[in-house]
Amino acid sequence: MSNKLKIGVFGYGVVGSGLAHVLKNSKGLDASIVKVCVRDGEKERELDSAVLTTKPDDILSDPEINVVAELIDDADAAYQIVKTALQNGKHVVSANKKMLAYHIEELIQLQWQHKVSFVYEASACGSIPIIRNLEEYYDNDLLQSVSGILNGSSNYILTKIFNDNLDYDVALKQAQDLGFAESDPTSDVDGFDTLYKLIILTVHGFGLFVHPDQVFNFGISNLSPKDIELASQKGYKIRLLGKVTKVNGNHVNLLVAPKFVKPEEHAFTVESHYNGVLIQGNFYDNQFMYGKGAGAHPTGSAVLSDITALAYDYKYEYKKLKYYGGLQYTNDMEVEVYLRYTNKDDLALFNFSDIKESLTGKDFNYVIGTLNLSDLIKIRQQIQGRDVFLAYLGDE
């Protein structure tokens, strides 16, 4: 690639404007934004009108542009943009974790086929360089698990609930007002954002492609004051975590769910809209990475880091895909969970193999026990809409 980077940007929202700002203040990088494609060309922006376009082809077919930065929310549109850009021989930077979770295998093949780079550090954990660390430092088969708080919006809400005694709805509204959560917060609070990021980390950490439908994910939207009270009584906090673990030698499991976090666990100290990622492996024990997971400048800086890497012809090597294959996905594993339920019909859905603690009261029923994750997968559609809350316990 020429060291001169001519960039075409799709989207000029929080991340796109953040990229423009950090690029403007970055010294030593020979890069410029040639064109910005937006949906609404009439909206006022701090951009030269000559740079703006509403036609994707003005970027995708421009031979001068050698880098495409895809920074839009629409996963389907993002997929078409990235696919076309790669097919047209352009290097691509993306921050779209949902698009990647569903299409990463195909897009990796396309970048190999067309001999271009496709980088997406900004898609997972904002300013934390987790993907590149999994690629470059943890590039062997000693890795055992990657876990942590991967969504800043839900973490902000939970921090306000536990630290400031705010009700869930009040904390959510505050997160929305501050721009940490979307007007429709479903992806954040129900664990989908965490799930998409975890799938990306699994590709780089374990060389395994996992479809989102294969993974059990449960969020915090059903969290009640009773759940908070019980966790606090036991000295725990509740945090929404994603975890990918190597189990039984050649199998890998993914789980996204709230967790009862103990004071000695790393996630206990991660507050506000910050992310924290714990990497565990044979011989190197625990490594913990911490930083802002969302926002214009953290994500914009991650995109800029990818663009800077392209100036040095950087490519993900996918060493685990090429050299350490043979791992398989499984949900066949025991997990200890806390289940708060409303009536016996709710409880009957859950196939507990062992019950460690239980309470049946007038307005509060719960069970702490062990069940198989594969059984949770089978009933996940049935528990939607029911007044139940589930969190897991055990090691971080």
Catalogue the active-site residues: 197
Q: What is the DSSP letter of 191?
A: T
Classify the phi-psi angles of 43: left when phi > 0, otherwise alpha if psi is within -120 to 50, otherwise beta: beta
d(CA 274, CA 268): 12
User: What is the number of other CB atoms lying within 10 angstroms of the CB of residue 1?
Assistant: 14
Residue owning tokens 């993002």: 78
Query: Looking at this protein, which amino acid is placed at residue 183?
Result: S
3-state helix, strand, coil in the chain (%, to 5): 35, 25, 40
Cα 181 from chain centre: 14
CA dist., res. 28 & res. 24, Å (int): 11
Ordered DSSP codes for 102-138:
HHHHHHHHHHHHHT--EE-GGGSSTT--HHHHHHHTS
Q: What is the DSSP string of 331-345?
A: ---EEEEEEEESSHH
Phi, psi of 146, rounded to the nearest 5 degrees: -130, 125
Residue 125 makes CB contacts below 8 A (sequence gap 6+) with: 150, 197, 275, 277, 289, 291, 293
The DSSP bridge partners found for residue 287 are 279
Amino acid sitting at position 157 = I
SS3 245: strand
Q: Indicate if the alpha-carbon torsion angle 334, 338, 344, 346 is positive or negative.
A: negative
